[in-house]
Amino acid sequence: MAYDYIIVGGGSAGCVVADRLSADPSLKVLLLEAGGGDSSPLFRMPAGFAKMTKGVASWGWSTVPQKHLNGRVIWYTQAKVIGGGSSINAQLYTRGNAKDYDAWVSEAGCKGWSYREVLPYFIRSEDNERLVDAYHGYGGPLGVSYPVNPPPISFAFLRAAQELGIPFNADFNGAVQDGIGHYQLSTRNAERSSTASAFLKPAQDRKNLTVRLNAQTLRIEIEKGRAVGATIAAGVGTETLRADREVILSCGAIGSPRLLQLSGIGPAAALKSAGVEVVHDLPGVGSNMQDHLDLYAISECTGDHTYDRVARPHRTLWAGVQYLLFKTGPVTSTLFETGGFWYADRKARSPDIQFHLGLGSGIEAGVAQMKNPGVTLNSAFLRPRSRGTVRLASADPKAAPLIDPNYWADPYDRDCALKGLRLARDILRQPALKPFVLAERMPGNNLNTDQELMEYAYRSCKTDHHPAGTCAMGTGPAAVVTPDLRLRGIEGLRVVDASVMPLVPSSNTNAPTIMAAEKASDMILGKPPLPPANV
Ligand SMILES: Cc1cc2nc3c(=O)[nH]c(=O)nc-3n(C[C@H](O)[C@H](O)[C@H](O)COP(=O)(O)OP(=O)(O)OC[C@H]3O[C@@H](n4cnc5c(N)ncnc54)[C@H](O)[C@@H]3O)c2cc1C
């Protein structure tokens, strides 16, 4: 059977595109996802995120040794489940800064992607529990809510940041991004709102939509310069599926350049050294990788102020009961629901540091767990100048890719990151947090020079899970896709996911990815773009 469209990758972007295309009953749509279903309650519970960075529903990849981080290899969670990152992420709903999108136009030539032009697509997908104004809307598929019952320490954190001169901000996605506050979350009624639950589930009974789980695509089939289908692993063999109109690649910022290269599309020299026959020499594929690197401070608390207290078995049980019966308590928390945006470089065009207050210690993979209850403050530098790569280790589709974010290759990134870490430590030392915080345990009060903090960072830094830019849209020779997301040089093939962002937004990347998928769906369907927002 031939489909009109085959979407490869059912993640944040893929589920949106599957829903929007299959809304037209005359189109036959197939969605292929390498991972399985999301029926485990862990995916629905906001706090289920804590398990996710530790290997649940992910590919199990790591970076290559990081040259500018003393050779450190960093665990690199990428989702392998329907809904992709939106099914396993911390559910922070942030869009970045208006200037990020304007820079996509001015610096990368992405006509049509200015802030005023993309804002209507953010709003189209939004079902905001509280806000309706020029920046927000309700009635869309994606639930967006504020945290259910943040604990007192998170309010003390807000006061502490203000003591340091960072203003309070009630809506990072509104007119101003700067400041400190509670995040909006992609949750609805205290449950995760992934693109699988919000977009795909309501569409899944449509007769013209087929969803195949556990279907890893091995390569895109190209005939005479046109994408005509996809070959998937099926049992011990393979199966080739045909697309009459387009193949849409939505495998994420690691998965999409990986699959293109496995299909012979990428820089010829890199393909040959991996043993892949070159189908189309396209140098930008897998280059231009950007990611946010997290540094963090952890302090020991004066008492049971964070969710570390829930780690004991009887309390875990009670938290589960509380959630199931009343939809309240620790399980409703995404564990990172408070934070904000501020400056390492005061000359930066908009905030370049993001804080995430972790309501515990050891929440994420690789982050130290304290003996007594702790509180974590992550700081990520948001506009890295370093550029990395995604390459193949071999032509075997089962082999892990070579992920090289090349963190801190540009010393500016390191300098800003260290300033961000110093800001995080300063916030935790302010008077408002004194009743809650006993003492800093990491990096520890004895580490203060840049050299000491750098060595601490080498040992402890982690990804913020925001890879982008590896199939960048644009108009220059390094662009992989055009501003309407068509792969340059091959007909019938588009890329729609975080890989197409030419510059990583100054925030978390799930909402920007959903926005891009909304806009892409209109392009694929040949609809005119939504009118620009009047802001
Ligand atoms: C642990 C974690 C925490 C995060 N926290 C936040 C947060 O709080 N807020 C936020 O905004 N962002 C967060 N992010 C980032 C955000 O979730 C991602 O930017 C977003 O999900 C990217 O969407 P995507 O569609 O590009 O890729 P993904 O959502 O990763 O989707 C790609 C999909 O393609 C599938 N796939 C890959 N290769 C193949 C293949 N060959 N065949 C078939 N299927 C394939 C994958 O299994 C996956 O399901 C987080 C990410 C992670 C991993």
Rg, Å, the chain Cα set:
22
Q: Best mutation site among 184, 513, 515, 518 for ligand 1, i.e. most ligand atoms within 8 A of its Cβ?
A: 513
466 is catalytic: yes
Per-residue tokens: 441: 């345990």
Within 13 Å and on the Cβ side, how many CA atoms surround 286? 27
pLDDT of residue 315: 85
Question: How many angstroms separate the alpha carbon of residue 48 from the centre of ligand 1?
Answer: 16
pLDDT score at 314: 85
Q: Is the dihedral of CA 257, 262, 264, 270 positive or negative?
A: positive
Nearest atom (ligand 1) to Cα of 215: 43
Please, what sign has the CA dihedral across residues 437, 438, 444, 446? positive
Evaluate: CB of 252 within 6 angstroms of ligand 1.
Answer: yes
Is the minimum distance from the CB of 413 to ligand 1 under 6 angstroms?
Answer: no
Angle between helices 450-460 and 411-428 (to 10 degrees): 90
**Is there a contact between 511 and 498 (Cβ–Cβ < 8 Å)?**
no
Cα–Cα nearest to 246, from 488, 495, 479, 469: 495
For the stretch 58-81, pLDDT in tens is 999 999 999 999 999 999 999 999
Q: What does the pLDDT profile of the chain (535 residues) look like in tens digits? A: 789 999 999 999 999 999 999 999 999 999 999 999 999 999 999 998 887 777 789 999 999 999 999 999 999 999 999 999 999 999 999 999 999 999 999 999 999 999 999 999 999 999 999 999 999 999 999 999 999 999 999 999 999 999 999 999 999 999 999 999 999 999 999 999 999 999 999 999 999 999 999 999 999 999 999 999 999 999 899 999 999 999 999 999 999 999 999 999 999 999 999 999 999 999 999 999 999 999 999 999 999 999 888 877 788 888 888 999 999 999 999 999 999 999 999 999 999 999 999 999 877 777 777 778 999 999 999 999 999 999 999 999 999 999 999 999 999 999 999 999 999 999 999 999 999 999 999 999 999 999 999 999 999 999 999 999 999 999 999 999 999 999 999 999 999 999 999 999 999 999 999 999 999 999 999 999 999 999 9
Distance 386 CA to ligand 1 centre (A): 21
CA of 449 to the centre of ligand 1 (A): 36
pLDDT score at 80: 98
Query: Which ligand 1 atom is the nearest neighbour of the CA of 11?
Result: 31
